[in-house]
Amino acid sequence: MYSNNSEKKLSRPISLSDLKQMKENKEKFTCLTSYDATFTHVMNQAGVETILIGDSLGMVIQGQDSTLPVTIEDMCYHTAAVKRGNTNAFILADMSFMTYNSTEHALENAGKLMQAGANMVKIEGAAWLKDIIKALSDRGIPVCAHLGLTPQFVNKLGGYKVQGKGQQAADLLLADSLALVAAGADILLYECIPSELGKTLTEAVPVPTIGIGAGPHTDGQVLVMHDMLGANIGKRPRFVKNFLTNGRSIQEAFEAYVYEVKNQQFPAPEHGFKS
């Protein structure tokens, strides 16, 4: 059974240094998406260390069919709402589609998200991002680089498909990861890649990794809040588990998620992908 609320509540704000220390100590950490103050407060009470304001809000909040229509104004609005409800979690915010298509554009929009309350921005892409990441990092903006399945590239990828399958694709993902870390990326997030590749990449890079559909070996795990509460529309992704079961409250569902990630019960083999 997971611990009660008084044991789970974070005692102080989580920093990037804390997350790096957790990787060094081989201690798993948790991340959930949030888009408002109330759910953020409950996540803090449950001990969720990191909160992502995802451009997934396009689908779960706005009812869009992808993340592409989400604007930087949308992201700033929800980031500010999360900030107001937050006490101790480390806040990541997505840079929405086409808001970092040049270094100047990226600096302007990342600045807006940081001023709205983010502790770090997240951008999707591969090695081509390295100059943008360096420019952001040089100006004091921490960056999480999102690799593997990148939803903003869904039209280019031909759908939501597992990435990094086969040796050539795995090698390329490793090379991209190392290039982005060298450019200044502070965290790498991997989506929908084979579990064994998630292990290889986490061991190869010196920064914390977060996985969603990337197996149990990444340093942290993230899920879309609506998915892990069983409120997803349509087919449930393979990597999702409904934690709002057995009469749990929402806070208890968050606490169960924290407990299972930290004790390496989630994700289980059935939530991962093979090479």
Residues tagged active-site: 191
**Spatial distance between the Cα atoms of 170 and 173, rounded to a whole number of angstroms:** 5
Helices (H) then strands (E): counts for the chain: 12, 8
Q: Is 124 annotated as a binding residue?
A: yes
| SS3 state of residue 52 | strand
Tokens 């943008």 found at:
132
* Side-chain half-sphere CA neighbours of 258 within 13 A: 24
Residues 6+ apart with CB under 8 A from 201: 173, 174, 177, 188, 190, 193, 209
Residues 6+ apart with CB under 8 A from 205: 177, 178, 181, 188
Q: Is 56 annotated as a binding residue?
A: yes
Relative to beta strand 90-94, strand 220-223 is unpaired
Q: Is 55 annotated as a binding residue?
A: yes
Question: Could you please report the per-residue DSSP string of 233-270?
Answer: -SSPPTT----S-TT--HHHHHHHHHHHHHTT-SS-GG
Q: Is 94 annotated as a binding residue?
A: yes
Binding-site positions for 3-methyl-2-oxobutanoate read 55-56, 94, 122
Binding-site positions for Mg(2+) read 55, 94, 124
